[in-house]
Amino acid sequence: MEVTLKIDLGAERLIAAQREGEKIAVEIKSFASNSAVSDFHTALGQFLNYQIVLEENEPERELYLAVPVDTYETFFQTRLAQIAVKRHQLKLIVYDPIMEMIVLWRN
């Protein structure tokens, strides 16, 4: 039985792109709720599911999790986030939602 994953549109979405010749997919999260921990649980779960789907269907595509700079500078500096990023080998894109630009690529 196949599972169909629906991708969020709007502020949070999965996009496919190329970066310097490498194929990537980016799961963009806004972390807009009142609970960064809850947002992180959701983001991590979705990221891991998307990673499985990409490994099966597009193994050459690298998956990145895009997070706002303020969330990266606060929540992603916590021990929980640091351990999760390391354990799950999360590749991060840190973006500035106001300037609409990428601040940091972290592999």
> SS3 helix, strand, coil % of the chain, rounded to 5?
35, 30, 35
The H or E element containing residue 92 is strand 91-96
Specify the higher pLDDT residue, 107 or 68: 68
Segment 49-87, tens digit of pLDDT: 889 988 888 888 888 999 999 999 999 999 999 999 999
Does the domain at 13-106 match CATH 3.90.650.10? Answer given as no
Q: Residue 12: which pLDDT band, with cuts at 50, 70 and 90? A: very low
Whether 107 shows a pLDDT value over 80: the answer reads yes
pLDDT at 68: 94
Sequence ranges of the domains in the chain? 13-106
Q: What is the pTM of this model?
A: 0.81
Q: Which carries the bigger pLDDT value, residue 13 or residue 37?
A: 37
Evaluate if residue 10 carries a pLDDT over 80: no
Angle between helices 79-87 and 36-57 (to 10 degrees): 0
Q: What is the pLDDT of residue 77?
A: 97
